[in-house]
Structure 1
């Protein structure tokens, strides 16, 4: 049996904490897509920890953590993270496993990412410059190097071939930055990677399922960044939705049971791309300040706005969400009034569907107004203690979206989550 936790917006929904909260109920936590562009923030012993590559169940000693084949892996980032995790007394060689089919991010992928984004100028998509896009391009172009290739004596030869191919592309971009230091660090990290548990991922995870183990599949980014169904071309390079679990881990669809979608009580987005409910005013700034809305991976200020139920309902539909988790509800504690987007006005037409191409149309959000709750919700432990205004806000979202909010996160702490 496999349950899934994934984001329903443009990423940064707080999935790391939610995975960490639910992890004790599972035997296995598995990342199924994305790369070091993800930043899952946890608080361990009161200290902030951001995971980019390692699954968020790593701080639970008895849980097996798997990096699946749908992930693109930067060995440098992985080594740094493993060192940081080890400082908490966690033995990654005991409970971290990596699929042989996981694709590697090489230094020239990062260079290509940077060169491509620089060339786009004002049309740049807001890439994290971690080499994600070029790595996935090599995967679909059948040029990629995979973790299992590390065991092959021809690895260096194949690496040089790939580097030469990339160099031709970099020459076309007139990219002249010296990346020799990146390469040196990369090969040091490869030696470390060879010492970890490299497994035949699809057999490994299916054997766990056959043994009756409970698996939690962890997504990165958010549904509105999906390569097919997101706000193309301002999207990531992988399938961020529940369908990506099957491809990213090698499990059959009928093995998937619950799909938990994570949404903020409002909306944020990092980087370029359409964002219908964005608030470029004092209210947006207040949301950013109260929510500490700065990217966990890039540190960039996040764009902020009211919750968009048109996009949220769409995300629930394409994922088959069975339960929702609403995070950062406490950020709205001090607002006099709240707005909820219930439709789009596009060229004078009322629309409740996400359009094919959001960035080629002018979208005026249609809002419904709600009263704020003016209560410090961070201290609430029980659903019965929720302010009536917060319950009204949540009930409306449940009714509109058609998937119930079952949990509300009311602070960054592991214990700050209310079951409804």
Structure 2
């Protein structure tokens, strides 16, 4: 069975844990979008430290599973090699079971510098990027003439002339636009490329052909979406979005497999809402409720360490994500974080100027001024970390899940009650 796991909110929903759990029955795990700006944490059990991954698919933690970094990913080779080294220090060897698409694009030093200069110049209007160079790399991908791909590392000597032209162009751009007087050195960047080529060549392949062969052979393929639908370049809360299609719709163009290759689209949502950085957040609780959720849920960014903004579950935005993604099942994560709250609230409708909205608005101004209609449910105090049967959850916790299921009109098939892969309630196979 081929499954696509996609976030339904602004990322950080717990996709890594879900992919790690489902990866036990997968032959291939495919990361198809985003870059090192998308971090996820996997906790296999209570006796070992968590694994923080940014580029490597979660499948690397499963022996015998082929992990694929597909066409749509932008690859920060330094970050990738660092992750591989840290795994090997923990006796997890990344061998020929890692495959990197030659069509994926390379994040270069000048992309990171451009990201930093741009955010600084924007001042209070900054987008709140991770400064990982993701946006500038995708911009170069569209520009084409200043882009480099992973496949270019296969003949690294031919890169120098192109790199010389690109670095000169970037330096002039940084000086004219930002007044930067610290030019990047092409020889230093080229030396990096040589090192990347030496270490990454064994992993580079045509992943589109690889995945089509796997599909034809009936292999189980698990697609690992990065970030969340509300950060999607086309469907998210623009301009406070990422630079790729992080919704389910990005799978085809960014992996090379058609959507009909997927048997199920599984959406992941937290039992509440979080967001990192700037942008509209209708249900945000900038108060003791938000502080409680942040502290209890350890809501700090895997990539940046920044405290996440926290709020109530937003059924309007999640419902929107379900519709545009064709999601047929949901896993609800971090239910345990809500333990200790006497009342739980769910946003069921948006109002603007007294009128009820029947859609998720595209306009930033509307999203920033809308009022939320909340439905209030009873909270629960019991520790649910060891519960594995839905019927053994406290009645208020059961009612909360059932009510979300009724509002969203999509079955909630899995419920996370803790950080480790074992702390999951399976309601359906």
Using structure 2 for the length normalisation, give the TM-score: 0.95
SS, match of residue 212 in structure 1: coil
Distance (Å, rounded) in 1 between the aligned partners of 2:182 and 2:270: 39
Do the aligned residues in 1 keep the contact of 2:341 with 2:381 (CA within 8 Å)? yes
* Of 62, 69, 72, the match for 1:70: 72
Distance (Å, rounded) in 2 between the aligned partners of 1:409 and 1:73: 30
Aligned twin of 1:146: 149
Alignment partner of 1:108 is 2:113: no
How far did residue 403 of structure 1 move? 1.2
Offset from partner CA, 1:44-87 (integer Å, 9 cap, x none): 45211110000011011110000001000000000100101112
How far did residue 298 of structure 1 move? 0.1
Aligned twin of 1:46: 48
Distance 1:292 1:80, change over 3 A: same
Following superposition of structure 1 onto structure 2, how do residues 403-418 of structure 1 map, counting pairs within 5 Å? 403-418=410-425
Distance (Å, rounded) in 1 between the aligned partners of 2:195 and 2:363: 41
Aligned twin of 2:381: 374
How far did residue 178 of structure 1 move? 6.6
Distance 1:179 1:415, change over 3 A: farther
Offset from partner CA, 1:143-162 (integer Å, 9 cap, x none): 31001111234112112222
Distance (Å, rounded) in 2 between the aligned partners of 1:30 and 1:78: 15
Report which stretch shifted further, 40-49 or 399-408: 40-49
Do the aligned residues in 1 keep the contact of 2:33 with 2:254 (CA within 8 Å)? yes
Aligned twin of 2:35: 35
SS, match of residue 17 in structure 2: helix
How far did residue 192 of structure 1 move? 4.4
* Of 383, 392, 416, the match for 1:385: 392
Do the aligned residues in 1 keep the contact of 2:153 with 2:201 (CA within 8 Å)? no
Aligned twin of 2:22: 22
Aligned twin of 2:250: 244
How far did residue 130 of structure 1 move? 0.2
SS, match of residue 273 in structure 1: coil
The CA RMSD measured in Å over matched residues stands at: 1.6
Do the aligned residues in 1 keep the contact of 2:160 with 2:190 (CA within 8 Å)? no
Distance (Å, rounded) in 2 between the aligned partners of 1:182 and 1:38: 27
* Of 199, 222, 225, the match for 2:231: 225
Aligned twin of 2:337: 331
* Of 137, 147, 170, the match for 1:135: 137
> Where does structure 2 lack aligned partners over 5 or more consecutive residues?
none
Aligned twin of 1:173: 178
Distance (Å, rounded) in 2 between the aligned partners of 1:192 and 1:394: 50
Distance (Å, rounded) in 1 between the aligned partners of 2:170 and 2:343: 52
Distance (Å, rounded) in 2 between the aligned partners of 1:164 and 1:275: 40
Aligned residue pairs total 420
Report which stretch shifted further, 166-175 or 364-373: 166-175
Using structure 1 for the length normalisation, give the TM-score: 0.97
> Where does structure 1 lack aligned partners over 5 or more consecutive residues?
none
Offset from partner CA, 1:343-370 (integer Å, 9 cap, x none): 1111221124210113455111110000
